Amino acid sequence: IITEANRAEIMAQDWYVAELEYAKDGKQWIHKPIMVLPETIKYSAVGFSYIPIDAELLGLSAVRLPIDGRVPIFRSGEIGIVSASKSQELPDYIAGKIYALADQRISWCELEDANGIKIPFDMYTVDYDYGKLTLNGDFALGNLTGPLIAKYRYQDMGLVRDVKINGHVTFTKPLTHNYDPANTIVGSALVIGDMKSRYTRLFVQPTWNSVWSDEAIGGAISANYNDALYPIEVSNKGAIQERWAMVFTDATTFKCVGEYTGELAQRGTTTADYAPLNPITNAPYFKIKKEGWGSGWANGNTMRFNSIGANYPIWVIRTVKQSEPTVLSDSFQIMLRGDIDRVA
């Protein structure tokens, strides 16, 4: 405490500076320093250093990111996913047998052998509602190694109501599964909306000049395709994002060329339905009905249309911190969730 009696003595000290004084409870106080040897002082501190983010390597402008590069992934009013991943060893592998998993209402399941080799999906079926897995009646282990392991996942999706700075995320509804922190993650969802394959911009032109325009090039021709009565059929499984050209080589035969796919090996005729196969999905890219072709086609005439797949473009950036590798290989999965309307 500073009083009238000791103020002169305190102000005469070498360490005295006016900034050390402060008022409290109606009295004047001063912080009196304690002299110590510098080498005897220990303290704890946390320091941060940031490497400037290279926009070319990152693929987006760094000015759009927070200064530390960390981007919030949870916001009130957006969608969040709680997901638990588990594995269960099957007691045997008998063809036609039904195996019950430890959980019901699962969202994903796949079967592996003891060496981690994935078993083809056409060798078993999964009842996602009741959490059951059935091996096909003709199932045989063959070159696979037992025991078989079912890896599955169950999830809850909900609307985020509140996000706390301590990491607590609150949903607008309670969770419907039991979750163990050891195998559970919480993530945000990229909401895509409805996806549906379709085709657009069907037109004809007199010749094919390898120019991918969405408008006809050249004059009009008498030949045409009647897609009003015989629309081109596309499916979500087979259709892709592509611009197609049916280039006639004579009055009835044509070749199919895609802007990115290139020329397909399978050629078509106006006397048969044309459904070239997508080798990735084993479903046709599209199906052109033979009844839709008009007459008057000649060598070089071209029918053009665009197919739009049931897909959604996303950018994926994977970040791995610098460290010594602990495994020989690594991977990650992108999971697509879909909501459907059930028909009674």
SS3 per residue for 175-200 = CCCCCCHHHEEEEECCCCCCCCCEEE
Average pLDDT over residues 231-252: 96
Residue 91 pLDDT > 60: yes
* CA pair distance 178, 167, nearest whole angstrom: 20
Closest CA to 122 of 130, 111, 113: 111
Average pLDDT over residues 295-323: 88
Considering only residues 50 and 292, tell me which one the structure prediction assigns the higher pLDDT: 292
Average pLDDT over residues 155-172: 91
Residue 48 pLDDT > 90: no
**Residue 340 confidence (pLDDT):** 67
Q: Could you tell me if 240 and 281 are in contact, meaning their C-beta atoms sit under 8 angstroms apart? A: no
* CA pair distance 149, 1, nearest whole angstrom: 75
Indicate the range of 40-49, 131-140, 297-306 predicted with least confidence: 40-49
The contacts found for 170-174 with CB under 8 angstroms, 24 or more apart, are 171/80
Average pLDDT over residues 17-42: 90
